[in-house]
Structure 1
Amino acid sequence: MNEEKKVPNDSMDLDVYFNFRSPYCFLASKVMFSIFEEYKVNLIWKPLGGWSGRSSPDRVKKKIHLVRQDIARSCKKMGIPFSPPPVETDPTVAGLVSFAAENEGLLKPFIVEVMREEWAKGRNIGETAVLLEVADRIGLPRKAVEEAINNPSFLERLSENWEDAQSKGVIGVPSFTLEDQVFWGNDRIDSLKEHLHDLRLRNI
């Protein structure tokens, strides 16, 4: 029996593991959508909640100063503002609402605007009021936001996404996986694009 081989130029699925609390996901949100414009890949959205994909609380306390210096330098280079959110900010609710945004075809503007509110304006995206402001701005129905926040299946999906990520060897965010290849970090997006180019997946 002949095995079916992938035909060059067929589209492929690219899993995107993303935690709204990560400043490196903030940087990625500014450039990652170009992947899907330039290459024949399908965005498979895999948001994470809580501390999933992030350093432990104890480790965060030790490295927060260095991380903020690093992010500030990157933001300056990119010409974008940087204002960290309150330390108590929890990303879980944003992750839940992102499923609703995806269902409405508004995932990209939701990600971009939520990350802007959190990391450029320093707001707590764990607060429903902040997410409702974003929803109003991008045309996401408020009812969809409220239903997503109270949807137990969405909460379960966040946990399943982290289990799925770990099974593929993912240890941090943002991470992009394509078959057996893992690209970890916003600074690996160029490497990912090179890999997609080698697979002849670039849009003509």
Structure 2
Amino acid sequence: MTTPITLYFDLVSPYAWLALHTVDDIRAATGREVIVTPVAFGAILKRHGQPAPVDIPGKRAQIFDDIRWRAAERGLPFTGPPAHPFNPLHGLRLCLAVMDPAVRTVLARQLADAAWSQGRDLQQPQVVLDVAGHCGLPQAWAEAQLTDPGIKQALIDSTGQAADRGVFGVPTFALDGRLFWGNDRIPHLLAAARGEGPPP
């Protein structure tokens, strides 16, 4: 049995939004399950002593222009959240609380769409709960996850484990002990899944 691919993501990242839209294609191309795994990107940046990409002068505008191009290439409408960066913790915690990989993928993708395609504010708990409801999750259960101490700690642990593994940015894909950072490394990820390595 083949091991799954892990996709580390944070809803605050537009590139992670695009990556979530590649999950089905990657699954079909590799025959492997893709486990979407939320991490707190801000904590990873702090752990590695890195500035946030959008805080680098000149880079912010380049990032958002690039996202507009890439979203259009995938046929995805782009609006962008009302403020960026924003606090994504409600959505990340809820994603982590969902154990079923398929349901978690749908939830993560719809939460990311809410921010990046629809311009909704994921800092508002009700927005997150509205998306959860559209994914068929019970409202009382979903609301409880947003403040559950165990879920809060689980996200801290997930983030720390990712950083320990060498993750420094999102999206990052992990396959058989190897990391592939960014959507432009997806072709390399697929090649590795076929048993190919980098050229000598």
Please give the TM-score of this superposition, normalised by the length of structure 1: 0.83
Q: Say if 2:176 is the partner of 1:179.
A: yes
Letter in 1 for 2:75: G
Deviates more, 1:11-20 or 1:34-43: 34-43
* Separation (CA, whole Å) in 2 of partners of 1:172 and 1:53: 7
CA deviation after TM superposition for structure 1 residue 56, in Å: 2.9
Q: Name the residue aligned to 1:196.
A: 193
Deviates more, 1:143-152 or 1:32-41: 32-41
Matching residue within 55, 60, 70 for 2:55 = 60
Residue aligned with 1:157, SS:
helix
**Aligned residues of 1:99 and 1:148 also touching (Cα < 8 A):** no
Coordinate RMSD, CA, aligned: 2.2
Q: Say if 2:73 is the partner of 1:82.
A: no
Q: Name the residue aligned to 2:19.
A: 28
Seen in structure 2, the aligned counterparts of structure 1 residues 24 and 59 have a Cα distance that, compared at 3 Å, is: closer
CA deviation after TM superposition for structure 1 residue 42, in Å: 3.5
**Aligned residues of 2:10 and 2:88 also touching (Cα < 8 A):** yes
Matching residue within 75, 88, 92 for 1:91 = 88
**Percent of aligned pairs sharing the same letter:** 25
* Separation (CA, whole Å) in 2 of partners of 1:121 and 1:74: 16
Matching residue within 139, 142, 146 for 2:143 = 146
* Separation (CA, whole Å) in 2 of partners of 1:136 and 1:61: 37
CA deviation after TM superposition for structure 1 residue 105, in Å: 5.2
Please give the TM-score of this superposition, normalised by the length of structure 2: 0.85
Cα shift readout 1:130-186 (whole Å, capped 9, x = no counterpart): 112112211111112112111112111212122212222211001011233110012
Q: Name the residue aligned to 1:122.
A: 119
Unmatched segments (≥5 aa) in structure 1: 1-9, 200-204
